Amino acid sequence: MKIAVIGTGYVGLVTGVALSEIGNRVTCIDVDPSKVEKLSNGIPTIYEPGLEELIRKNLESGNLSFTAKHQEGLSDAEVVYIAVGTPQRPDGAANLDYVEQAARDIAANITRNVIVVIKSTVPVGTNFHIKDLINKNTKNGIQIKIASNPEFLREGSAVKDTFHGDRIVIGTEDEQTADILAELNQPFGAPIVTTDISSAEMIKYSSNAFLATKISFINEIANLCEAMGANVEEVAKGMGLDHRIGPDFLKAGIGYGGSCFPKDTNALVQLAGNANHDFNLLKSVIEVNNHQQVLLLNKIESRFGSIQGKRVAVLGLAFKPNTDDLRESPAFVMIPKLCAMGADVIAYDPIAVSNAKRQLGTDIDYTEDLHEALNNADFAIIITDWPSVKNADLAIFNTLMKEPVVFDGRNCYALDKVKQATLEYYSIGRPDQAPELIG
């Protein structure tokens, strides 16, 4: 099948490459010629494990191509995926400008009846709006079928999730379109859920909102554990063994970030407000997460008082491991506050340093070397649980730092190992390992 994918961000690029891998002829379209040039040469524009190999393989086979020309990508397409960004507006609603522009580009360049599949995360009702927009602007009586096919990819494991997903959701207006898309997606091997379009749109938002709720819930339990002398890891383990609850997303820390959870939770609150429904639960989830992202700063102030002139190693810039995505990362909340408090910051990340420099500027130091970050630091803050941090020999904190004082926002280390290493260690929802407690 000949397929066009508009947008080469995380969703669009992974979707296009995966569809080419299962035997389709896919053209990915992006308005940025520099991105198209890199991708055409087999160079990924995002960091995602396994993606580069698949790009190069399918470029070589001829199943995959990239272009900045909509006419070239759309003229003979049988199925067109819209996979552009829907960033958050100031009021929390999703910005549909890029989706609407994609619709206009489709209308201007398609030469046959096509199925338009919206992969972007959009509010309920958007598919019908886009269908009307395309149909009003097409020529020669061309008609489209519209479908919602939301993505459930985790950054850092998006390729794996595509080929080993929990489900594929397809929302359509008619059975014929549903059957075509089900057959197209059958090689991925995941259970296929077919539904109406509005329900498919809502499934995406509801899924992310529920996962965000689990995260904020366990973080509130973690804060309560600290106040009452309990260990949140033991609590989460006991909870997670209940099959009705499950262990996933019960890991306490400094909150969720990334391109999906913050944007989608805010958008769902806004969507609910438009329907005259006050989504109090989700508002609380967002409030808890905002508080959680600065929790370590309170611990730091309690420990040091003033950190004026102190050297602090911030370990991790990306919002999660195995990605260079910085969107809504707690690091971008904490680093400006540390600088405002007078700290001398050196930030470590094995992948995201170049992206961070463009966004945070050069007022802080950066490194891709963990040892360099820790050298002569007064204290360290763990933001991202990169394997290089989680698997580090704890002796390096004693060896390299002025004092082995660690504030761990991801609960990377077992407390018994921390005790053996005699670190001064503060984590989330677990007993502090301070000198008077260690000794």
Task: Say which residues have a Cβ less than 8 Å from residue 141's Cβ, sequence separation at least 6.
Answer: none
Domain 2-195 has CATH 3.30.830.10: no
Instruction: Delimit the domains of the chain by residue range.
Output: 2-195, 204-287, 293-438
Q: How does pLDDT run across 122-158, given as a tens digit for each residue?
A: 999 999 999 999 999 998 889 899 999 999 998 889 9
Mean pLDDT computed over 322-346:
93
Identity (one letter) of the amino acid at 339?
Answer: C
Same fold, 2-195 and 204-287: no
Which CATH number does the domain 204-287 belong to among 3.30.360.10, 1.10.3720.10, 1.10.1040.10, 3.40.50.410?
Answer: 1.10.1040.10
Whether the Cβ atoms of residue 294 and residue 337 lie closer than 8 Å to each other: yes
Structure-block tokens of residue 202: 């809502």
Query: Residue 305: how many CB atoms within 10 A of its CB?
Result: 8
Q: How does pLDDT run across 349-370, given as a tens digit for each residue?
A: 999 999 999 998 888 999 999 9
Query: Using CA atoms, how far apart are residues 83 and 16, in angstroms rounded to an integer?
Result: 10
Query: Residue 319: how many CB atoms within 10 A of its CB?
Result: 26
DSSP designation for 229: T
Active site residue 225: no
CA-angle at 267, arms to 319 and 281, nearest 5°: 90
Structure-block tokens of residue 57: 């393989």
Structure-block tokens of residue 30: 């992006």
Q: What is the residue-wise DSSP string for 119-165?
A: -S---TTHHHHHHHHHHHH-STT--EEEEE----PPTTSHHHHHHS-
CA-angle at 144, arms to 208 and 134, nearest 5°: 80
Is the per-residue pLDDT at 438 higher than 70? no
Q: How does pLDDT run across 215-274, given as a tens digit for each residue?
A: 999 999 999 999 999 999 999 999 999 999 999 999 999 999 888 898 999 999 999 999
Please report the sign of the dihedral spanned by the C-alpha atoms of residue 43, residue 48, residue 50, residue 54: negative
Query: Residue 38: how many CB atoms within 10 A of its CB?
Result: 15
* Residue environment code for 273-293, b if the CB has 16+ CB neighbours within 10 A, otherwise e: eeeeeebeebeebbebbeebb
Query: Using CA atoms, how far apart are residues 191 and 189, in angstroms rounded to an integer?
Result: 7
Under the banding of pLDDT at 50, 70 and 90, the label for residue 117 is: very high
Query: Using CA atoms, how far apart are residues 116 and 50, in angstroms rounded to an integer?
Result: 28
Q: How does pLDDT run across 47-73, given as a tens digit for each residue?
A: 999 999 999 999 999 999 999 999 999
Whether the Cβ atoms of residue 147 and residue 82 lie closer than 8 Å to each other: no
Burial class (CB in 10 A: 0-12, 13-18, 19+), 231: middle
| Size of the chain in residues | 439
Please identify, in words, the CATH class of the domain defined by 293-438.
alpha beta
Residue of 28, 260, 339, 412 with catalytic role: 260
Q: How does pLDDT run across 159-174, given as a tens digit for each residue?
A: 999 999 999 999 999 9
DSSP-assigned beta bridge partners for residue 321: none
Structure-block tokens of residue 268: 């769902």
pLDDT on residue 435: 63
Is the per-residue pLDDT at 437 higher than 70? no
Whether the Cβ atoms of residue 142 and residue 158 lie closer than 8 Å to each other: no
Q: How does pLDDT run across 261-283, given as a tens digit for each residue?
A: 989 999 999 999 999 999 999 99
Beta strands 405-408 and 344-348, pairing class: unpaired
What are the angstrom distances between the C-alpha of 411 and each of 86, 180, 261?
32, 46, 21
